[in-house]
Structure 1
Amino acid sequence: MTTYFQEPDLAMTVKQVQANNSPPHRHRHFEIVSVLSGRGKHVINDNQFDYTTGDLFLLTPQDLHTFKVAIPSEFCIVDFTGSFFAFIGSPEKDQFQLTPLFEQMEYVFHNHHRIKGNIIADEEDRVWAQLLIKRLLSEKEQEDYGKENISKNIVFLLLQLIARHIRRQLIFPLKTPRAERMVQGIVNFVHQHIYDKEALKVKNIAHHFHKSKDHISLYFKQQTGTTLKEYISAYKLQLVKTRLLYSELSISGVAAELDFTDESHLNKLFKRRFGVTASAYRKKAKGA
């Protein structure tokens, strides 16, 4: 196993696996696993997925995984922590904040487990992902200015590819292709504007899609089995779970960013949906 570079929030390792000698294990960080060569099964949370050269997997700190090797394999493993997405606010406020990238990737972090095995199936994008991994590997030879930023931006691009393919695979099972496109458009609009209280008003969503408020509400309910307001609320609470697991934001900070009245209001809604308060959920998830 060779570690090519290691920084506070980003590390890359090339690992050769000859046999099944690693028990299932978790990491304290996120991982992109790229299969450089070989074949076998990637066991993730007791589910077995075939892997081969060119496959790409995303693991979060909650995932338990190992490899069952059929042909000796080589993997490029990119590790990055939650701080990869974060920055600290003004010194006088000493406030931990999240970059816009984290807001874009939250959807991926709480939906990636619904994707079966290798994330990128499209051949053209598989080629792009492999080229990005090769470029990331080549940065190990660079001692020139900008090595750290170039490496981070390559990882950003990989994450965006992963995000695109996860979104493609998580489309509602609707009655017709036309309905599918329409509802997916509404869902995408909600995800893109989840931090904009005004944009998320049903009347403004309806206006964006050139529909009446009553029509779009009824249509969404008929096609998905849930109301638009219920979907927005459920999605926000899923994002709360993601923030509690993968960021250091305080619960009051999460409440403010996602437009809950206060921490008490957030805890009340969170408990109603998940059976525990947000604070209790974070403590249990982090073993506190």
Structure 2
Amino acid sequence: MNIHEYQQLLENKKHTGDSFPYNTYLCTIPLDFSNVPTHWHDDFEFIVIKKGAGTVHVDLVEYPVFAGDVIIVLPGKLHSIEEKKGYTMEYENIIFRGDFLLSKHEDVCSQAFLIPLMQGHLTTDCHIHSSLSYYTDFTTIISSIDLLSHDRPTGFQLAVKGYLYQLFFLLISNQHKDIPNPTGQKNLDKVKLVIKYIEEHYAEPITLSQMAELCHYSDSHFMKFFRQQMKDSFVHYLNEYRLTMAARLLTTTSCSVLEIAAMVGFDNLSYFNRLFKKRYGVTPRQMR
């Protein structure tokens, strides 16, 4: 089970299917889980903060967020969600594929705006907050989409699609940021390789040397690179990812602690128990 598979278990609305790939679901941190580890995907994602406060990282940039804020995650962007100490945060995830907005024939909407957004050649504001001039218009449209998605009147898909075009108009017409420099993007691409590898292979043995080779770095250079980019050591990050997935399995499956330890990549139960208690303040058995 990787991060995307786990998130699918949390969705409280039916998927609309491949013919209309637009989905929403509510989550609460830390009640549902303590964090969402760094990951990326090829979909658009809007993170709408409903209550409380927390922290969202997008391409390793930290954004403190509060009720009413919206975070825009473009396709291919690294992102993670964390709790803010002393707060809970309820948020709505809106996730949709960009290609369902594209025309089957070449048109200016697709060629000049949507495809460049999907390919990283065009950018927008990432943090939508109340001080932005278009904030009220943006959040009003989000509320309208939520209502339609809940009630689902006949033809609601037409309105949702139309509203999404309006949201992209607001984002693009108010766009004033430069495209990231090639050097910074190159570093992010290497981080994405490592993150994706961990996501797909965390149940298997993973060594620092493997990751260094993946990035075409020496071991020492990779250690320095990873810490500079992620503000964490590689070994600690890997253990934290595994512990996060273990906590989720403990609360969603009936597998034994020994089985779960093995499922997330720990071959030493005592070591797993020790790290788990240090991370969560309770033993794996107590978490249940």
TM-score w.r.t. structure 2 length? 0.48
TM-score w.r.t. structure 1 length? 0.48
